Structure 1
Amino acid sequence: MKRKTPLHSTPRRDFIKKASIASLGISIVPRHVLGGVGFTAPSDKLMVAGIGVGGKGESDIKSFADSGLAEIAFLCDVDDRRAATSRARFPKAKYYKDYREMLEKEADKIDAVSVSTPDHAHAVQAMAAMQLGKHVYVQKPLTHDIYEARALTEAADKYKVVTQMGNQGASNNGTRLMSEWYDAGLIGDVTEVYCWTDRPVWPQGIPWPETSSAIPAELDWDLWLNTAPYKEYVDGLVPFNWRGWWDYGTGALGDMGCHLVEVPVRVLNLKYPKNVQCSVGSVYVDEFKRGYFPDSCPPSSHVTMTFPKTDKTSGDITMHWMDGGIQPTRPEELGPNEVFGDGGNGVLIIGTKGKMMCGTYGRNPQLLPTSKTEEAVVPQKYERVPGEAEGHYRQWVEAALAGYGKKEVSSPFSVAGPLTETLLIANLAIRGFDIRKEREDGRYDYPGRYIEMLWDAENMRVTNFEEANQFVRRNYREGWKL
């Protein structure tokens, strides 16, 4: 039975106004004023509030605290079970279930906010924090919708806050080394890229369960649903399997794309694609029928996008995304027993003079044949991040303490936003594949299948298949807005 929550039926009045006024009282005193070199005074620490503090959120806030420069001051989670470890680790942190209540009451005590919730909640939570002038760290993918990604990118600049997306591989050395190889001309001009993953490792390509279940006492289901349409609670959705449902997740692309596609985007300075097409796998239902279930992401897909030339290429670049265990043909330069990518995941970049590959997060970069890797000596061109992936967290904390525009981060929203949009444009093609129109004979046509969708990046819309644009910006549940 749907539980009515007054907090959700009407937006909080004067929320932003009140909290913004309170936030003006924040003051950070430089550490050199209060102590010597290496001394971190309490007032010099970044006061962090975590929204979503179980699972990845738990490890995120722990990493911020481990930097020695941040204090976890507030915790917020809709599920007491998921929050238990973080609450035990940070017993002095005040605990909330509703992030809006936390931000309204504690705005003057918060410097920065970490968001690690299901994809469909990222945008409203991050935006609420940025509107209060709080620095934000948001787990990947940045948002659920294309419109949301563009909105957060613009908001980061408008509110002058330090931002970082949680794709830690953006701070690894591998991508920077591959950029240096490419800039040195070792593989020539790139024309084609492949990215692949063995995800999903959660159920996809299935119908929504017909039987609902009792809501666990520790879980506020209405708060968990956030912007998504109301549905009865079903077992197995929380804490992880929501990724395979379009109402909440963004499939394998959203989960792994930020870790893989980020590599060629950085190496080649790619912007938005100009077209996209796809094919998807289906589920065997019976001996006469294959199943497509539009509520659920497909079990596998192959998406092809074309990017216009950049300052680092001489022409268009074709990018292939493959998931569900599909992989490109092994390059002939790779030995028969050598691992392709990291096995289940990888990136292959093909140039006119050679090829290079890596695994997830840009790890283990290799020139092909791999014997060339040790021979390659190029000057270091790009600054490394101390600690690489683990340093991704400290990097954001230090930048937030320094203030907007004072220190660089690896995945600010100015970079993470367009990257996320690219992945979600690929998802437009996947979702468009299942749009159907009923014919006079009672059967269905699927006009979004087997076409190339043309993308207008400036206006965020498909120009030749209007039905797909419904997924650019979804309708939020009543009482929620960006």
Structure 2
Amino acid sequence: MDTLKKEKNSTSRRDFLKASTIATAAFMIVPRHVLGGPGFLAPSDRLIVAGVGVGGKGKSDIAMFAKSGKADIGFLCDVDTRRAADSVRDFPKAKFYKDWREMYDKEHKNFDAVSVSTPDHNHAVQAMAAMQLGKHVYVQKPLAHDIFEARALTAAAKKYNVVTQMGNQGASNNGPREMKEWYDAGLIGDVHTVYAWTDRPVWPQGIPWSANKAEIPAELDWDLWLGTAPFKDYVNKLVPFNWRGWWDYGTGALGDMGCHLLEAPFSVLNLKYATEVEASVGSVYVDEFKRGYFPDSCPPSSHVTLKFPKTNKTKGDVTVHWMDGGIQPERPEELGANEVFGDGGNGTLFIGTKGKMMASTYSANPRLLPLSKNEDIKVKEKFARVKGQADGHYAQWVEACIAGPGKNELSSPFEIAGPLTEALLMANLAIRGADIQRKDANGKTTYPGRYKKLLWDNDQMKVTNLDEVNQFVKREYRKGWTLGS
């Protein structure tokens, strides 16, 4: 692997590393695989975790692993020392790196597992490289940036026989398990339609890329932050959060919230791969009369419809509607005028042949409709609950890593998270397809992806009736970056 050259003449950089680095030999706990190889168990066994991306959500992720009482944070990696500062303070014995490739090269014998919490466009390369080293991985949602990556990570988890978990922590809540029990008991009949909606994005979308080149902060390695993405000059306010609204780095509101809101429909109905998708998107105006055309940016709102084939839990196809940007489905007639739909800004609604049920973000607070039905639900509990629910999502992965592959049940292993992520990314194909331009014989600009249903060949991983959109199924990495060895 390539490594970054050390920065020269940087007192602040030297002081930062001096404060945050210890020699590997100073570890009091030896990685479990060194003690006895894969599957070795000892009474004092603990998991040593390396964090890639340790600011923001990455900071809270590694803190939760440590809180499990069975994991030690041995290594920290972040391209931005400002964002990493809190984690360096909280884990003073952890060795710090800016480049995850250098950390993997030098330290892979000294840790057992990797937590990836970076922008979406770098998830796959960081997770794949870890799995190829035999490391267990925890990857923030969405699992990947494009469909090819999601499929590749799903296959790699099985090939390398490692323990995996995606960071959609609501999958460990009681809500999905309660709804599965209600559904299996026949309380709402056969589900044929699902709605999920969010008030996201809460970051800019549907805008042009800034023409104002900005000075790169001294603490940020911009080239390394870009990673697999095409090179662009640094612009203000993209980091640490607004990258979500740009296709080169993020996956829009679907990537941010879809893994939370659509996890329950997948687990309740055993959904897997969709067969067709269509979308309508909101637009913005650059002046009083002209709509903006900004294909590099996710739209400000969208409504996507996905069709899934019959499963062992349904009697026929299932139609799933996704809505973002504040768009919501029609309010169920069983819901009172002053009763909250979902949790207001977000929610999931199941429509069955005998009734309906809904839930809030992270599948929390599931309810039958009308709400009076919830006063006396008598359904036997048959699915084991996760201790700590959403917070327990982290300890569940830690304990599964320690136990070894195939020993413990997980809420969102890649075999489940992969197809879920693919569905969201397939929805994004339809959204991006709406912005594809062509010139007709008269030189007039047309949009062939609008007002069209995209048909999906799952085995070939391609859309069969609009070839231009297939460029987004597997994107081209910047030179020097590959998905695995």
Letter in 2 for 1:373: N
Q: Specify the alignment match of 2:41 in structure 1.
A: 30
The aligned residue for residue 438 of structure 1 is 439
Provide the rounded CA distance (Å) in 2 between the counterparts of 1:428 and 1:251: 12
Q: Which residue of 2 aligns with 1:13?
A: none
Matches within 5 A, 1:99-178: 99-178=100-179
Match of 1:290, SS state, is coil
Equivalence for 2:474: 473
**What aligned pairs does 1:33-432 form with structure 2 within 5 A after superposition?**
41=44, 44-432=45-433
Distance in 2, Cα, partners of 1:62 & 1:8: 27
Instruction: Note the residue ranges of structure 2 that are not aligned, 5 or more in a row.
Output: 6-30
What amino acid maps onto 1:296 in structure 2? S
Could you tell me whether the CA contact under 8 Å between 2:32 and 2:46 is conserved in 1? Answer: no
Is this contact kept in 2: 1:228–1:247, CA < 8 A? yes
Does the 8 A contact of 1:8 with 1:479 survive in 2? no
Q: Is the 8 A contact 1:162 1:404 kept in 2?
A: yes
Deviation at 1:6, TM superposition (A): 7.2
The amino acid that maps onto 1:30 is: L
Q: Structure 1 length normalisation: TM-score?
A: 0.93
Q: Identity of aligned pairs, percent?
A: 71
Shift of 1:62: 0.3
Distance in 2, matches of 1:196 and 1:292, equals: 25
Task: State the alpha-carbon separation in 1 of the partners of residues 415 and 385 from structure 2.
Answer: 19
Structure 1: distance between partners of 2:406 and 2:426: 29
Is 1:257–1:423's contact at 8 Å kept on the other side of the alignment?
Answer: yes
Q: Secondary structure at the match of 1:395?
A: helix
Give the aligned residue type for 1:361: Y
- SS of equivalent to 1:161: coil
Q: C-alpha deviations, 1:237-284, integer Å up to 9, x for none?
A: 000000000000000000000000111111100111110000000002
Q: Distance in 1 between matches of 2:447 and 2:130?
A: 41
Q: Residue type of the partner of 1:391?
A: G
Q: Is the 8 A contact 1:23 1:133 kept in 2?
A: no
CA distance in 2: counterparts of 1:224 and 1:234, whole angstroms: 13
> Is the contact made by 1:23 and 1:107 (CA closer than 8 Å) also made in structure 2?
no
Structure 2 contact 183–268 (Cα < 8 Å) conserved: yes
Please tell me whether the aligned partners of residues 121 and 229 of structure 2 are also in contact (alpha carbons under 8 angstroms): yes
* Conserved 8 A contact 1:122-1:143: yes
Aligned counterparts of 2:279 and 2:375: Cα–Cα separation in 1? 37
Deviation at 1:8, TM superposition (A): 7.6
How many angstroms apart in 2 are the aligned matches of 1:430 and 1:221?
28
Question: Given that residues 200 and 326 in structure 2 are in contact (C-alpha distance below 8 angstroms), is that contact kept between their aligned partners in structure 1?
Answer: yes
Distance 2:330 2:423 in 1: 24
* SS of equivalent to 2:300: coil
Shift of 1:375: 1.5
Counterpart residue type for residue 381 of structure 1: K
The amino acid of 1:256's aligned partner reads: M
User: Secondary structure at the residue paired with 1:373?
Assistant: helix
AA aligned to 2:275 is K
Cα contact 2:3–2:99 (8 A) shared by 1: no
Distance 2:34 2:51 in 1: 20
Q: Could you tell me whether the CA contact under 8 Å between 2:2 and 2:102 is conserved in 1? A: no
* CA pair 363-167 structure 1, distance change in 2 beyond 3 A: same
Deviation, 1:439, is 3.1
Distance change (3 Å), C-alpha of 1:378 and 1:238: same
3-state SS in 2 of match to 1:322: strand
Counterpart code for 1:136: V
d(CA) in 2 for partners of 1:26, 1:450: 59
Change (3 A) 1:408 1:6: closer
Report the AA paired with residue 299 of structure 1. Answer: P
- Measured in 2, the distance between the counterparts of 1:388 and 1:355 equals 24
Offset at 1:457? 1.2
> In 2, Cα distance between the equivalents of 1:112 and 1:88?
21
Note closer, same or farther for the CA distance 1:78–1:454 as it changes in structure 2 (3 Å cut). Answer: same
- The Cα shift of 1:290 comes to 1.0
| Residue 450, structure 1, aligned to residue 451, structure 2 | yes
DSSP-derived class of the 2:291 partner = strand
Q: Secondary structure at the match of 2:449?
A: coil
SS in 1 for 2:286: strand
Quote how far apart the aligned CAs of 1:26 are: 5.5
Conservation of the 8 A alpha-carbon contact between 1:149 and 1:421: yes
Q: Is the 8 A contact 1:205 1:283 kept in 2?
A: yes
Paired AA for residue 392 in structure 2: G
Secondary structure, aligned partner of 1:284: coil
For 2:93 and 2:76, the matched residues in 1 are separated by: 10
Query: Given the superposition, is the C-alpha separation of residues 26 and 155 from structure 1 closer, same or farther in structure 2, using an over 3 Å criterion?
Result: farther
Deviations 1:295-320 (A, max 9, x none): 00000000001110000110011110
- Deviation of the 1:443 alpha carbon: 2.8
Letter in 2 for 1:337: N
Distance 1:457 1:241 in 2: 32
Partners of 1:473 and 1:6 in 2: how far apart? 23
Secondary structure of 1:313's partner?
coil
User: 1:316 corresponds to which letter in structure 2?
Assistant: D
Amino acid paired to 2:325: G
Q: Which amino acid aligns with 2:391?
A: E
